[in-house]
Amino acid sequence: MSNWTMNSHFCRWNGITCTWTRRQWRVLSLTLTGKSLSGQISSSLGNLTFLNYLDLSDNNFFGPLPLLGGLQQLQYLFLNSNNLSGNIPDALTNCSNLIYLYIFSNSLVGSISPKFGLFSNLVSVSLADNQLEGSIPSELVQLRNNLEYLILGGNRLSGQIPASIFSLASLISLSLDHNMLDKASLPPNIGELLPNLVQLTLENNSFEGPIPASLGNTRLEMLDLSLNKFSGQIPTNLGKLLNLTELNLGNNQLVAGDNQDWEFLNALRNCKSPKSLSLAHNELQGPLPLSISNLSTSLQHLLLSGNSLSGHIPRGIGNLSGLIRLELHENYFSGTIEGWIGSLKSLQVLLLQSNNFTGPIPSFSFTQLLTLDISGNEFEGSIPASLGNLQHLQQLDLSYNNFQGYIPPNFGKLEQLVLFDLSHNNLQGDITLDISKLEQLIDLRFSSNNLSGEIPDNFGNFLQLETLLMDQNHLTGNIPTSFKGLQSLKTLNLSHNNLSGTIPTILKDLSLLNKLDLSYNHIQGAIPINGIFANATAVSLIGNWGLCGGAMDLHMPACPAASRVIEWKHYLTILLILVFGFMSLGLSIYAIFIGKKAPRRPYLLLLSFGKKFPRVLYKDLAQATENFSEFNLVGRGSYGSVYKGKLTQAKSKLPLRSLTLRQDSRTKVLFPNVSL
C-alpha cells in the first residue's frame, strides 16, 4: 500500500480496480487480503455504491461488521480470518446480489437471522468457526435454486437440522461439523435429495441411527460422520463412490463381525484414489479380513484403532505401499510384525501400542518415520540399533515390552526426538548415550528397567525437557548438579534407586517443577526449604533415612547440630572469633588486675618471708612473750593481738618492738608480723 498517497489517483492505488461510469471513476473492486491491517473497518465503505468485490480477509481487523447495506451491487464479500465481533447485522441482507459471503474465522455471536433467506442469489456462504448459536433457520430453503456451499461448522448451533436443508438440491458441500445439533438421523433417501453432494461433514454432533445406503448415489469425495452415534453396519453402497478420497466413520457405534459385515471393505476397492480411511473407535471385532490388501495403493491413512480386532495382521497389508499413517493400536492383534512391516517404506506414523504383538522388532528403514509407538505389547529381544538411523523421528515409545540388552548408543543421533520412552522393559547397563544433540527432547522416560551406573552429567543439557522419569532402576551416585540447566522441567522422578549424597539445592530453583519424587534412595542431609520443597504435596522423599529438616509438612526429623555446622559455617566462624577475642581481652584485664593486687596478699609475703627475716619457731615466740602473758599484751585488733617481747637468735638478743599474731579461719595458721 506504499502508493496510497494523495499525490496519486485512488484508481492507481494497489488493490483497487475502477470502472468509468457516468463520466467519473468508480471503485469496482477493493482487495487488501493478507496485508496485516488492523483497526475497525470503516463504514464509509458503504458509500462505494458501485463496489462489486470486497476482500479484506486475513488481516487483524476487529470490532463489528461494517454497515454495508447500501452496496446493492456487491456480489463478493470476504471478511474472513479477522477478529470481527458482534452480531451479523440484518441490514447485510440488503445486499441482495451477494453470491459469495465468507465471514468465517472471526468472533461473531448471536444467531443466524431468518432473513438470510433473502440472499436469493447466494451460491456460497461460510459462517464457520465463529460463536454463533441458536437453530439453523428453515428459511434457508429459499436458497434452493442457487446455494451450492453451506458451511456452518465450528459454532454452537443447536436443535435439529430443519428438513428444508435436505431440499437444497444444488448443494455440493454441506458442513455442519463441531456444533451441538440434537439427536437426529439422516433421511434414508438423502442421496436422492442431495445428489450433487461432493462433501458432507457432520463430525462431532449427536447424529444417530444407521448410515444411509443412499449416500452411495451421490458424488461424494469426502464423507466425515465421525464423533457421532451412528450405529449398525457400514453400507456396502459406499463402494459406489468411485471418487471418494476421504471416509471418516471413526468414533461411532458401528459394528462388523462376520464376513458379510466386512463386505464394505471389499467394496471400497472400487474407489479410484482413496487417501484416508478411518474406522477407529467403533465396535469392529474379529480378524482383519484379507480384503484389506485389495485397497488402492494410493491410500495414505488407515486408522483401525480402538476396536476389538484380533488375530494376525494379513501380510497383504504390506501391499499398501502408499501408507503414510497406520494406526492399529488398542486392539487385540497378535503375532509378529516381520512379515509385512518392511514393505511400508513411506510410513511417517506407525501406532501399534496396546496389542499382543510378540517377537523381535525387525530392522527399520523407514527414513521418513516421525512417530513410532509399539508400547504395551510383548515384543522381546534387543532394541535394533537401526532405529538410531531414523533421523526424522520425533516420538519413540517402546515402553511396556520385554526388551533386553543395552540402550543403543546411536540413539543420541535422533536430533528431532521430542518423546523418548523406554520404560518398563528389562534394559540394563550404564546409560552411555551422547545426548548432546537431543536439544528438542521434552519427555524422557527410562523407568522400571535394570539400568545402573550414575546419571550422566549431560542430562542437564535438556533445556526443553519437561518430564524426566528414571525411577525403579539401580542408578547410583549423586543427583547431578547439572540439573540446574533443566529450567523447563515440570516432573522429576528418581525414586527406587541407589542414589546417595545430598539433595542439590539447585532443585529448589527450578521454578516450573511441580512434581518431585526422590523416595527410596540413600540420600541424606538437610532438605532445602524453598521452591518445590515448600509444597509437601508435590514432593515425595520417604525411604531416605538420612534426610532431615525441610518444611514442617514433610514431617522429617530435625537436623542434628553437627549437620547445621556446615549450613551455618560462615556465621559460626565469626561467632568464634568474637568469643575468643572477648575471652582474651577478659584474661588480659584479669591478669593486670591481679598483678596490682598481688603485693597486698599475705601469702605472697610468706613466700618471701625467709629471704628478709630469720625463721621464728612457735616455742621461741611463746618464750619471748612469757606464754603470751597479759602483762606483755600491747593491744587487740580485728586481725589479732600485739605482744611485746625479746627474741634470742644466734646467741644474741634481738630487741622486739611488737609482735602480731593472727589465726586465719580457713587455714588455722599463725602469721607473724614483726617490726625490728
Instruction: Please work out, in degrees rounded to the nearest 5, the angle formed at the alpha carbon of residue 528 by the alpha carbons of 532 and 558.
Output: 125
Residue 610 confidence (pLDDT) above 60: no
Which helix (H) or strand (E) segment holds residue 564: the answer is helix 561-567
Residue 642 confidence (pLDDT) above 50: yes
Q: pLDDT for 516-574, tens place per residue?
A: 999 999 999 999 999 999 999 999 999 999 999 998 888 899 998 744 445 445 445 55
Name the percent of the chain lying above pLDDT 70.
Answer: 84
Cα 213 to Cα 36, 58, 170, 195, distances in angstroms: 47, 40, 20, 13
Q: Which of 2-6, 125-129, 401-405 has the lowest mean pLDDT?
A: 2-6
For the CA atoms of 373, 379, 381, 384, what is the dihedral angle to 10 degrees? -20
**DSSP of 119-181:** -TT--EEE--SS--EEPPPGGGGGGTTT--EEE--SSEEEEPPPGGGGG-TT-SEEE--SSEE
User: Which DSSP letter does residue 448 get?
Assistant: S
pLDDT at 618: 63
Rg, C-alpha atoms of the chain:
49
Q: Which amino acid is at 64?
A: P
Distance, in Å, from the CA atom of 46 to the CA atom of 319, rounded to the nearest integer, reads 60
Segment 71-82 shows an average pLDDT of 96
* pLDDT range class, residue 609, cuts 50, 70, 90: very low
Q: pLDDT for 406-441, tens place per residue?
A: 999 999 999 999 999 999 999 999 998 888 789 999
Q: What does pTM read for this prediction?
A: 0.80
Under 8 Å between Cβ of 298 and 268? no
* C-alpha closest to that of 236 among 254, 219, 213: 213
Q: pLDDT for 278-298, tens place per residue?
A: 999 999 999 999 999 999 999
Give the residue carrying C-alpha cell 541424606: 524
Under 8 Å between Cβ of 416 and 393? yes
Segment 23-38 shows an average pLDDT of 90
* pLDDT range class, residue 263, cuts 50, 70, 90: very high
Q: Which amino acid is at 564?
A: R
The sign of the torsion formed by the CA atoms of 629, 632, 638, 640 equals negative
Distance, in Å, from the CA atom of 522 to the CA atom of 498, rounded to the nearest integer, reads 6
Residue 191 C-alpha cell reads as: 442421496
* C-alpha closest to that of 156 among 174, 133, 173, 177: 133
The sign of the torsion formed by the CA atoms of 154, 158, 160, 164 equals negative
Burial 595-622, CB ≥16 within 10 A → b, else e: eeeeeeeeeeeeeebeeeeeebeeeebe
* C-alpha closest to that of 273 among 324, 221, 350: 221
| Beta partners for residue 219, in sequence order | none
Segment 185-203 shows an average pLDDT of 97
Contacts of 658 (CB under 8 A, 6+ apart): 634, 642, 643, 644, 673, 674, 675
- Tell me if residue 620 falls in helix, strand or coil: helix
Region at 133 (left for phi over 0; alpha for psi -120 to 50; beta for the rest): beta
Q: Which amino acid is at 132?
A: L
User: Which DSSP letter does residue 101 get?
Assistant: E
* First vs last C-alpha separation in the chain: 130
* pLDDT range class, residue 230, cuts 50, 70, 90: very high
* pLDDT range class, residue 59, cuts 50, 70, 90: very high
Sequence-ordered strand ranges (E) for 321-375: 325-327, 332-335, 349-351, 356-359, 371-373
Q: pLDDT for 347-380, tens place per residue?
A: 999 999 999 999 999 988 888 999 999 999 999 9
Name the percent of the chain lying above pLDDT 90.
Answer: 72
Distance, in Å, from the CA atom of 439 to the CA atom of 558, rounded to the nearest integer, reads 41
Phi, psi of 228 (to 5 degrees): -130, -155
Under 8 Å between Cβ of 445 and 466? no
* C-alpha closest to that of 247 among 200, 296, 289: 200
pLDDT at 616: 63
pLDDT at 182: 87
Residue 640 confidence (pLDDT) above 70: no
* C-alpha closest to that of 209 among 236, 226, 187, 193: 187
pLDDT at 560: 86
Cα 624 to Cα 265, 445, 613, 648, distances in angstroms: 147, 109, 17, 8
User: Which DSSP letter does residue 337 get?
Assistant: S
Instruction: Please work out, in degrees rounded to the nearest 5, the angle formed at the alpha carbon of residue 253 by the alpha carbons of 250 and 255.
Output: 95
pLDDT at 292: 94
Total number of residues shown for the chain: 676
Phi, psi of 199 (to 5 degrees): -135, 125
Q: Which of 94-98, 271-275, 597-601, 618-622 has the lowest mean pLDDT?
A: 597-601
Distance, in Å, from the CA atom of 143 to the CA atom of 116, rounded to the nearest integer, reads 9
Under 8 Å between Cβ of 200 and 219? no
pLDDT at 337: 95
Q: Which amino acid is at 358?
A: T
Residue 639: CB atoms within 10 Å = 14
Distance, in Å, from the CA atom of 245 to the CA atom of 271, rounded to the nearest integer, reads 8
Which helix (H) or strand (E) segment holds residue 578: the answer is helix 569-597
* C-alpha closest to that of 620 among 644, 647, 643, 642: 647
Q: pLDDT for 567-592, tens place per residue?
A: 445 445 556 666 666 676 767 666 66
pLDDT at 215: 98
Distance, in Å, from the CA atom of 37 to the CA atom of 52, rounded to the nearest integer, reads 21
* C-alpha closest to that of 672 among 663, 660, 664, 655: 660
Q: How many CA atoms lie within 13 A of 218 on its CB side?
A: 29
Residue 237: CB atoms within 10 Å = 17
User: Which DSSP letter does residue 408 get?
Assistant: -
* Average model confidence (pLDDT) across the chain: 88
Q: pLDDT for 449-500, tens place per residue?
A: 999 999 999 888 889 999 999 999 999 999 999 999 999 999 999 999 999 9
